[in-house]
Structure 1
Amino acid sequence: MVLSSKTSLRVRYSETDQMGIVYHANYLVWFEVGRSELFRELNLPYTQFEEQGLGLAVIEASCRYRKPARYDDELVVITEMDQISSRAAKFSYRVYHEEILLAEGKTVHVFINKEGRPADVRKYAIWPRLEPILKKQT
């Protein structure tokens, strides 16, 4: 079972260059917005991980740009949780404007503790809420 979320946003002027085209790094920001919304829809907002001393560090990110987004475009970011375990998670993303695919990407993350070291989520109180999500992935 694929877990996914759909997030709508509008391109802000500050996200564009002189030509009115979105600066490439903003797609990674939008991936984060989609990822945060996916966790929120699962009733696991990222703040709950942080309250327990957990982080979800990006260790790999990629984006393939197909068509440019422009100032004031209404976009839809589709985020899918491709894989999650007690130590890591993988996500994929697609960014659309009027059903036209503008970009697609992937991120890989590891759970870390307050010291920035890899963490096993099974050792934290949030695990009983996260475990059913893992079972849906199999």
Structure 2
Amino acid sequence: MGVAHHSNYAVWFEVGRTDWIRKAGLSYGELENRGFLLPVVDLHCRFISPARYDDTLFIWTWVGEMRGPKITFCYEVCRADEGTLLARGETIHFWTDRNLKRFNLERKEPRLFRLLSERIFSGQTEE
């Protein structure tokens, strides 16, 4: 059909999320090495206009909510050359340990919570 398959959007969301975490000062790999996981528990995507093969895209990423064990990442996928909004979505995650037991990040790792909170409340989004 000449358009990107819908499954790519979940991958693009992951790229945006991973980059957001990296720009907060940690790689996702470092989080995992410390025993902190962020499994996706819900994903929503609203398709607005199709991405075409060879499009260059921006994935705007920000945190919509971080409370208790829950963190919600929000995304907008745009075509780079003209800024056309292609999709809008969000993923919901829970902070878990390696056994997938949920925990409250603020209580378990206050320094990491503060680091992420500073980034969230600075209003920064990433592409």
Contact 2:24 / 2:115 at 8 angstroms: preserved in 1? no
Partner of 1:134: 117
Whole-Å Cα distance in 1 between the matches of residues 35 and 24 of structure 2?
19
Partner of 1:55: 37
Contact 1:68 / 1:102 at 8 angstroms: preserved in 2? yes
Contact 2:71 / 2:94 at 8 angstroms: preserved in 1? yes
Listed as ranges, the matches of 1:3-14 within 5 Å are none
> Which blocks of at least 5 consecutive residues in structure 2 are unaligned?
123-127
Partner of 2:84: 100
The residue matched to 1:56 in structure 2 has which SS? coil
Larger strand percent: 1
Q: CA RMSD in A?
A: 1.8
Alignment TM-score, normalising by the size of structure 2: 0.84
The residue matched to 1:103 in structure 2 has which SS? strand
Assess, with a 3 A threshold, how the Cα gap between structure 1 residues 42 and 132 changes in structure 2: closer, same or farther: closer
Does 2:68 correspond to 1:112?
no
Residue identity in the other structure for 1:128: R
Identity percentage of aligned residues: 35
Whole-Å Cα distance in 2 between the matches of residues 77 and 100 of structure 1?
12
Whole-Å Cα distance in 2 between the matches of residues 109 and 66 of structure 1?
24
Whole-Å Cα distance in 2 between the matches of residues 41 and 91 of structure 1?
14
Residue identity in the other structure for 1:112: T
The residue matched to 1:34 in structure 2 has which SS? helix
Whole-Å Cα distance in 1 between the matches of residues 112 and 104 of structure 2?
14
Does 2:108 correspond to 1:123?
yes
**C-alpha distance after superposition, 1:18-52 (max 9, x if no partner):** x2211101101100100000011111211121011
Partner of 1:7: none
How many residue pairs end up in the alignment?
A: 118
Residue identity in the other structure for 1:134: S
Kindly state the Cα deviation for residue 111 of structure 1 after the two structures are TM-superposed.
0.7
